[in-house]
Structure 1
């Protein structure tokens, strides 16, 4: 099934963004949650929305769906204003909220039947197909489901009518790694079918694997935008390991001389830790001259990566 998730400009027939915001702002009293946000999501792509807690991601997604109203600015979703689009527009969208609350005595299957009556047309067997891929038992009462299984149920209701636009807020929260992998496959298949996916996440590896383009939010504004590679979000790494204790002091002096290495700690035992900016090549060349007993290189959490790379303008605290 091929979805056509775009509209054409009446002026020149050009394809318009699936989602567009211009100077979008949301104030809560004296606090500004979103300020002057400009965002364009191209149709048929996966667009990641990332940033530290409180950056304005969830507020932005809720305004796109007319769950809350902006203080000022313009929004267009699938060519329409969310405020005026009504049920017709909402049926073209699949939405998973960041704080999913599902309760009730009904089974998962019956709850999905209810959602199918108010969403777009659901093909026979589609809900069962998605549930099977996510390893979700639809015969169990919703109230008896774990947090992870409720999250799976939320994903099924978002995907099952194969909407033109998927808006997913922290979609893998509570999912085990195998289900997360299957979810990412569903996202790729949706994109290949022509659907547009707007994905908010704290998980950098998730964005790396799924997104075509990424917008980094901080303090309610886009501070950077581009591909994951362009944004260098993986350029900051934690490194820890151990070398022979006899060469510990020599290692410290050599690593201190590398501009890419900061927050270096080297114990007399030979164990060391540091934060690495940029390419690991200089570090590896130094370590190659030592007897390495242990080495672990890992990416920091998303908030640390964003703050380290985009500096004070990303520090919303």
Structure 2
């Protein structure tokens, strides 16, 4: 057992202290069978600043470091992974991000990254496998369905936004979202939710009509590798609120009240003028009688 440990130490460790060798690898990701996956990976080593030409990156099975899934020399790559893996980052920038395409149901890993420093023509001595930072895949045989979100109320004649979203783990080949309605305005956003987990969000904006009521709307997602899935939902369109049944009677009532009020004012005014005229007439008659009475007495 001690001999095995010593051999492993010679194979995987460098003469420098292991604390100087660090890596950050996403350890768990969903992988859709037949599609692709991107594994974010970064690392550091004691001799920083070396160009990519002085570095060799290797991805291998954790259980068997000789079973290589990525290496620049394809002859050393296991037959099951030849032509299916590549490094996306530059090793000189401490980027060891891995892409794997045409995912098979046995590609679950765990897979680990190994770095080799090549500074002379002599066989490489400085190397380190980050066996504590490895990635495992949860294999998805069934294609995930997109999430379709509709507003609570869809009102006739008013702009309506419907969203369709899907999460994925292959940022180099984003899923494509299409709609059953093609003549409306469509916007699309790609965003990273967590390290290694991405989302495609498509928004459909349309103005619902009466004929859209009880119709179906469908968003379809096409994944790299040929698999597709879709989600369908019915839309229910409400007629726009019409307040004519309130406004018209109210307007008629107010108009009638105004007309009646003006009519009353005119009648009252006419009545007051008539009273004033009568009072004037009575006063004149009284004055005449008074003068006539004084003359008779005289």
Q: TM-score, normalised by structure 1?
A: 0.20
Pick the structure with greater CA Rg: 2
Higher share in helix: 1
Kindly indicate whether structure 1 or structure 2 has the higher relative contact order, using CA contacts under 8 Å at least 6 residues apart: 1
